[in-house]
Chain A
Amino acid sequence: MNNQFVSSETAWCPGCGNFSIIDTLVGVLNELDLSPHKVVLVGGIGQAAKTNQYVSANGFSGLHGRSIPAAVAIKLVNDDLTVIVNTGDGDSYGEGGNHFIHNIRRNVDITHFVHDNQIYGLTKGQTSPTSDACQLDHKTSACNLSTPFNPLLVAIACGATFVARSFTGRKDHLAMVMAAAIRHKGYALVDILQPCVSFNKVNTHSFYDKRVQELDASYDSSNKMAAIEKTMEFGDTIPIGILYQEKGLTYEDKHPQLFNDVPVIHKAHNMDDINELFKDFI
C-alpha cells in the first residue's frame, strides 16, 4: 500500500480556497512522516467537510456539526491515531457550536482545521456565524445582521491551548501553522480564511490578501491577555499566525489509568473482573 498521502479529484468549484488547503494538508502530512493508515480525517457536512473524501487516509464523514464529538472519541479509544478534523465555519461554529465550546474544555489531543469562508457555500450563499456585520440597508449574502462570531476569542475564553489563524493565499504560512497544530498536544484550532469564489463577493482573495498580517517575531504567543486583544483585531488588518499556545493538561493527562502504553481498544477484558463485581450485590 502507498505510504504517501495523495489527494484525488474533488467536487469543488474551480478557484475554491479548499484546493490550497488540501494541497498544503497533504504536503504537511507527508512531511510529518505519518502513515496514511494511522491518520483519521474527520468531517461533518459542507464543502470543507468533504476534504477527507479526497485524501488517502482513513475517513469519517459524519453528520453536520457533529465531527468534533466523533473525532474526540476516536482519539480517546485509540491514541495511536492522529485525528484531524476538516470542516467549515457553519459546521464548526453554527450547527456544532455547543460541541466546539465543550470540546475545547475537554482538551483532547485532536486538530481542528476550520475552512472559514464567512459564508455557507454548499447551500448557496447564506450567512454563516462568521459573516461580516453590516448595516440594515446593506443586506447581501455575505452580510450578517447578528454580531459576527469570534471563534479565536471564544476558544481562548474556553481555555484552548492552541489558537491560530492562517490564510489560503499564504501557503507557506498555512503549512507552518498546520504542522504546529498537528504537533501540539491537546486540542488545536486553526481558523483558515479562504475565499468562496461562487458566493462571497466581499471576502475575496484580494480582500484577505490586503489585510492579513503575519505576527512578527516579537509576538509572544504565551501571553494570554495579549492574545485576547489580538483575536479582536479583524478589520483593516487581520493578524495571522499562532495567536496563543500553552502547555496544558490534556484529557488524556488527567486520566493516566486509561491512557498509557496500551490504547483503550486493546485493553484486556476479563470475565473474572465482571464476576468479581457481582460480589458487591450479594
Chain B
Amino acid sequence: MYNILLGGAAGDGIETMSSLLERTLKKSGCYVFSIRDFMSRVRGGHNFAQVRFASEAIAAHRDTLDGIFAVDQTTYDQHHQRLHDRGFILCDVSLNIEDPRAIKLPLKEIAKRLGNPKVMSSVAIGALLKLFSFPLDYALEVIPENLRPDLVDVNLKAVTEGFDAVESQFQVTAKNAKQDLLLTGNTALSLGALAANIKFYSAYPMSPSTTILDYLAAQSAKMNIVVEQAEDEIAAINMVLGASYAGARAMTGTSGGGFSLMVEALGFAGIAEIPVVIANIQRPGPATGFPTRTEQSDLKFVISASQGEFPRMVIALRDHTDCFFQTARAFGLAEKYQMPVILLSDQYLADSAATVAVFDTNGLYSDLFPEKSVPGNETKPYRRYQLTESGISPNSIPGETESLVRIDSDEHDEFGQITESADVRIQMVDKRMNKLELLKKELLEPDFWGDEQCETLLIGFGSTAGAIKEAITILNAQGGHYGALLFGDVYPLPQQKLKQYAALATEMVNVEQNATGQLASLIRENALISCHRSILKYDGRQMSVDDILAGIQNPKGGQLL
C-alpha cells in the first residue's frame, strides 16, 4: 500500500492531475482512495490531494506519506515531516529543496519545450507511474478519455517524457480493481438518486454539495430529469416540495448554511406529509465556517431543525457504497412514510474518490417503489390525510384521477382543509408521529466491526467509518480487543446492537468529527447509555486512522464529556 501527496497552489491543476493519476492507477488494477484538501479560493494558496493505492480495498486516508509531488516550495515545507524515510519528493529542479529524498527533474523545461507550461503535471504523472513500476499504457488511454481533444497530444508527449526520466523504485502486486467503479461520494449519491427515479432536483450552489447539482444537470436531458438552479435554498426546497406534491420524486442538496434556510420548509414537508429527500453535505460551521473543509457537526441540528414536532428520518452516509444505496433507499422511505428523509454526508466523503464494486441494481425495485395507494371515488371522497392505523394516508397525485388533492401548511382536517379544532389537531399530530413507530421496525442497525468479545467499543457515524475500521483492525492485530458500531441510520436511533455491545464492553469511546460529541449525546438521550470518553476532531481536517490510534493510545487525550 502506498500513499502519495500532490500539492501546489490553487490553479496549478492539482485536481485534474490527481483525477488523471487515480484513473490510471485504477485501470492498472489498483484500489484507490483519494482525498482533497482545497482552499476556498480559485488561485494561489495551498491545495493538495492525497492518493492511497494498494492491491486491496481502501476506505480511509493515512498521515504517513511514501511520496510527495511538489509543484511549489510550500508543498514541501508543509508536508515533508510526514514523509517516510524511504519516501521521495518529486519536484522541478528549480525548487530549493535540500533533502536527500528529493528527485529533481527538469519538469518545467520539458513542459516549456513541449509548448504548454501546464503539462508539467503530466510529466510528473509519467514519472510517478515509472517510480511505482506501472506500465505507461493506461495513462495513454486515460488522457484522451478525459482531456479536451486539443490538449491530448501534448499531454501524451509529456507523460511519456516523464516516464522515461526516472527509474522504477517501488512495486504494487495483485491488482483486481480493473472492473470496479472509481467515483466520489457525491457522484455515487447522484447515481443513487437516479436509480431511485428522481425526476426533479433543485439546489443553490454551495460547497461541498455543488458537485451533485453539476452531475445531475449534466445527466438532465439523457435521464429525463428537471434540474433547476434556484435563486436561493428557500426556493430550491419549495420547488422540490411542489414537484413532489405533483408526483415527481424530488431532492435538494446543500450544506449547513443552505439547510438553515430550508428549515421552515422542512417543517412544511412534515405537516403537509410531502415526501422529500434532502442531502446535507456538511462543512464546518457555524455561518460560513470553513467552506471547503469537513465536519460532522450538523447531526443534532438536522434532527431538531424547524419549529413544531413532526416525524423525519436521518441517514448518515458512511462510504461510497452507502452514498449510492442509502440515497436510493431514502427515496423509497420518503415516499412510503410521506416525510422528509435527510442524508448526512460531508466534504470528506463528498469529494473523496474510492474504488468500489459496481453497484448491483438487481432487486432494488421492490424497496425503492412502494405500492401506490388508491384514491377515493365518488361515493367516498378522497381524503389526503385520511386517519389510518399506521398514520400513513393514501397519497394521490393531482390530475391522475378525478379526486382533488389538497395539502396545507396550516393544521388541517382529513381533506386538507384548514382547521382550528382541538380534537382534529390531536388526531393529526398523533397520526403523523405514529408513522415513526412503523419506521422503527425497518431501521438498519449499525454495522459492527472488530472483536465480538470487545473490551473497548468505539461508536461512530457517517464518514469516519472507514478510518475507525482500519484502526480497529490494526489494534486487534496487535492483540487488542476492540470493536466498533458504525451508525448509518441515526435518527430514529436504532438501539438493539447498541444495547447488546454496550453491555459487553468495559469502555465505550465515541469517535466524532465535531467538538461536542453529538452522537454520544443522542445516544445518552435516547438509549440512556453514556460513553466513557471521546475522540473528537474539529479542525476541518478529517480524522485519519492515525488520529484514532493516537486517541486510543492516549486515554487522557480524549475529551471527557
Contact = CB atoms under 8 A, between A and B. Distances in A.
A99 B225 CA distance: 22
A59 B264 CA distance: 20
A70 interface: yes
Contacts of A45: 409
B437 to A, nearest CB: 28
B243 A74 contact: yes
A81 B238 CA distance: 18
Contacts of A255: 221, 226
Interface stretch (A199-207, A219-227, A228-236, A262-270): A262-270
B522 interface: no
Contacts of B378: 1
Given A78-B247, A81-B398, A264-B224, A277 B265 contact: no
B358 A264 contact: no
Interface residues of A, number: 53
Contacts of B264: 63
A66 to B, nearest CB: 4
Nearest to B417: A53
Interface residues of B, number: 64
B248 interface: yes
Given A58-B404, A277-B191, A277-B194, A98 B232 contact: yes
Interface stretch (B176-184, B449-457, B490-498): B176-184
B10 interface: no
A52 B183 CA distance: 46
A77 interface: yes
Contacts, number: 182
A139 interface: no
B418 interface: yes
Interface stretch (B78-86, B195-203, B475-483): B195-203
Interface in B235-267: 235-236, 238-243, 245-248, 250, 264-265
B529 interface: no
Contacts of A265: 199, 246-248, 397
Interface stretch (A36-44, A126-134, A166-174, A180-188): A36-44
A267 B238 contact: no
Contact of A70 (B220, B231, B245): B245
A264 B200 contact: yes
B180 A264 contact: no
B265 A63 contact: yes
Nearest to A275: B361
A166 to B, nearest CB: 26
- The interface residues of chain B, by DSSP majority, are classed as mixed
Contact of A102 (B231, B241, B402): B231
Contact of B239 (A63, A70, A80, A267): A70
Q: For A60, A73, A98, A282, which residue has the most chain B Cβ atoms within 10 angstroms?
A: A73
A135 interface: no
Contacts of A271: 195, 361, 364-365
Given A57-B404, A61-B407, A98-B232, A282 B200 contact: no
Nearest to B415: A59
A267 B220 CA distance: 12
Contacts of A268: 224
A18 interface: no
A25 to B, nearest CB: 16
Contact of B242 (A72, A273, A278, A281): A72
B179 A78 contact: no
Nearest to A45: B409
Interface string B182-210: 11000100010011010110100000000
Nearest to B406: A59
Contact of B246 (A73, A98, A99, A101): A73
B165 interface: no
Contact of A62 (B187, B191, B268, B364): B268
A248 interface: no
Contact of A73 (B200, B358, B417): B200
A59 B239 contact: no
Contacts of B232: 98
Nearest to A71: B242
Contacts of B245: 60, 70, 74
B390 interface: no
Interface string B161-184: 000000000000000000111110
B521 interface: no
Contacts of B530: none
Contacts of A269: 197, 224
Given A62-B238, A66-B234, A281-B187, A267 B359 contact: no
B191 A59 contact: no
Contact of A69 (B187, B239, B364, B403): B239
Contact of A59 (B220, B230, B240, B404): B404
Interface of B: 179-183, 187, 191, 194-195, 197, 199-200, 202, 219-226, 228, 230-232, 234-236, 238-243, 245-248, 250, 264-265, 268, 358-359, 361, 364-365, 378, 397-399, 401-410, 416-418
10 A-B pairs with least C-beta separation: A70-B242, A73-B242, A102-B231, A59-B406, A58-B398, A77-B248, A267-B224, A73-B243, A73-B239, A69-B238
9 contacts: A1-B403, A45-B409, A58-B405, A69-B234, A73-B202, A265-B397, A274-B191, A281-B182, A282-B182
